[in-house]
Structure 1
Amino acid sequence: MTVFGAIGIAGTGMTVNRKWLDAVSDNLANINNAAPTDGEAFRARYVVAQAMDYGEAGGVEVAGIELGDPEGRLVHDPSHPLADDDGYVRYPDIDMAAQMTQLIMAQRGYQANAAVVDRAKETYTAALQIGRN
């Protein structure tokens, strides 16, 4: 694998981790969105990643996005303006602790791939300096 190959692979990892961060951020931003009981709750987004050219150092890509349960969870809140006749409102079925864990994992993955890009650039620069002497 060349230095440029390492940068390319790490770049694909950064892209996937960025999309993962975007999905988790979207989930956290909508965790308290209420919906009427006859509608769908906000559906959490989950990034599905897959290897590119598996076994040949091709990197990773987003294979798709899976959506959470549209049923969500019912909460009894008769004072809410969207409450039905029985006083229930539909909220997304999103666990904040799980999302925060996902957020940390995505951040660390992004940082690790960014570090690989930095090291590869340093290696390439060092190789150019050796070639000058």
Structure 2
Amino acid sequence: MKIEKIFASFNISAMGLSAQRKRMTAIAENIANVETTRTENGTPYKRKIVVMRASPEGSFQVALRNETIGLKITDEKHFSVGGIEFFEDEAPISGVRAEIVEDDSPERLVYNPEHPDADENGYVHMPNVNIIVEMVDMISATRAYEANVTAFNASKNIAKDALEI
């Protein structure tokens, strides 16, 4: 067994923590710019969202297949019988790739003829940020972050207990 495989769960939790941190950063930026009607390019602020994708494609299926084969080749006393190929040549687990993209939903129009950014009809083009949606997303990201911390701590305790054997 390669020593890197022992730390795979740490890497998975760390990638989840990083992705959720990026998500919380985007949400905080959205909340901070909920009233920003003019950015550097002269348009209203566009809501940022985080899109998460498996990286590379199919790595979860490869990992699941390897673990299933690993279970099939051990007997009741957990000794390796051997003779089964472990698909080492396939793509390694690299987890989740999180990227920040702009939301393409339409901007809100608010009637306020006294606003300096009002158009000729008196409407102000406001950002496409809904504070209620952002708060729900923040709670969801926080819970996911906490779940990854819990998984990381569980993996740490398992590794520590294994070293004490």
TM range (shorter): 0.7 to 0.9
Q: Report the aligned-residue RMSD.
A: 2.2
1:40 counterpart residue number: 43
TM value normalised by structure 2 = 0.68
Matched-pair contact (CA < 8 Å) for 1:41–1:71: no
Tell me the distance in 2 between the aligned counterparts of 1:103 and 1:110.
10
* TM-score normalized by the length of structure 1: 0.83
The alignment partner of 1:41 has SS state of coil
Deviation at residue 66 of structure 1 after TM alignment: 2.4
Q: CA deviation at 1:103?
A: 0.7
- Answering whether residue 123 of structure 2 is matched by residue 117 of structure 1, we say no
Gaps in structure 1 of 5+ consecutive residues: none
Q: Structure 2: state its 5+ residue gaps.
A: 64-92
1:12 to 7, 10, 15: 15
**Alignment check: 8 A CA contact 1:79 1:87 kept:** yes
Percentage identity across aligned positions?
32
Q: Does 1:56 align with 2:62?
A: yes
Partner AA of 1:10 in structure 2 = S
What does 1:92-111 correspond to in 2, within 5 Å?
A: 92-111=127-146
Q: Deviations over 1:79-106 (max 9, x none)?
A: 2222234322211121111111111111
CA deviation string 1:40-69 (max 9, x = no partner): 21110111101122323422121x332123
**Would the aligned equivalents of 1:45 and 1:67 in 2 still touch at CA under 8 Å?**
yes
Alignment-derived partner of residue 85 in structure 2? none
2:101 matched residue in structure 1:
66
